[in-house]
């Protein structure tokens, strides 16, 4: 896995999920420390920055007009009802630990589950000649998994940094780890991924 051909997508590391007082924080309050999600994500971010990988930050942005126009129900309708991830609010902001650096892409207009839907993510990746994608973030079995599936279907080599993801329950997280990751190509941890970069760059 060459660093120059690899993009790491950090999905929804926002205050509404990650921080005390966030509107969805109670949903992940137990799982985040169990998995050590933020610490592992920060370690992954530091490593891929040092190796020269492409870093893409992918916040969810509530689009009330789109949700209402499409008559969307279920999860995103609940997000709309609670005004979660509303642009311009503290809850929408990316957490301090994973703040984007100058030159890193902050994907605009993610309003659905997959980061590829209604965005220019695929175009960005193609322009950068990206072949490999690593996905980290929230929720393991929702937006992170949806993004990984989309990337796989588009022909990218995909891995989920499973211990830099988080679900609302251990069962949901472990389902993706044990059932979905092998379909994509294999289970991965932040430690595995960091070792993969070091091996490639030394070869």
E strands present in 23-141: 54-58, 105-106, 132-138
Domain of 83, CATH number, reads 3.40.50.850
Least confident of 56-65, 80-89, 100-109, 126-135: 80-89
Domain count, the chain: 1
- For the segment 40-84, what is each residue's pLDDT rounded down to a tens digit? 999 999 999 999 999 999 999 877 766 666 766 667 667 766 677
**Domain ranges, residue 89:** 3-202
Q: 183: which residues sit within 8 A by CB, 6+ positions away?
A: none
Looking up tokens 């689009």 gives 63
Pairing of strands 132-138, 105-106: unpaired
Mean pLDDT of 150-173: 97
Model pLDDT for residues 32-48, shown as the tens digit of each residue: 999 999 999 999 999 99
pTM listed for this prediction: 0.92
Q: Which residue has the higher pLDDT, 29 or 62?
A: 29
CA distances from 157 to 6, 25, 55, 104, 138 (A): 9, 31, 16, 21, 20
């Amino acid at each position: 896995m060459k660093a120059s051909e690899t993009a790491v997508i950090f999905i929804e590391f926002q205050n509404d999920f990650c921080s005390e007082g966030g509107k969805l924080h109670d949903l992940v309050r137990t799982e985040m420390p169990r998995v050590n999600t933020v610490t592992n994500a920060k370690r992954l971010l530091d490593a891929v920055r040092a190796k020269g990988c492409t870093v893409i930050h992918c916040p969810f942005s509530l689009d009330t007009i789109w949700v209402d126009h499409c008559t969307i129900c279920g999860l995103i309708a609940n997000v709309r009802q609670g005004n979660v991830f509303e642009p311009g609010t503290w809850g929408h902001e990316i957490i301090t630990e994973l703040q984007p650096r100058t030159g890193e892409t902050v994907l605009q207009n993610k309003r659905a589950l997959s980061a590829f839907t209604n965005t220019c993510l695929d175009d960005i990746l193609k322009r950068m000649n990206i072949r490999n994608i690593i996905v980290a973030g929230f929720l393991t079995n929702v937006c992170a998994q949806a993004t990984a599936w989309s990337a796989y279907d588009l022909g990218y080599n995909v891995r989920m940094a499973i211990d830099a993801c988080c679900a609302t329950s251990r069962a949901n997280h472990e389902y993706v780890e044990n059932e979905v990751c092998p379909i994509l190509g294999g289970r991965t941890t932040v430690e595995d991924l960091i070792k993969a970069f070091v091996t490639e760059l030394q070869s």
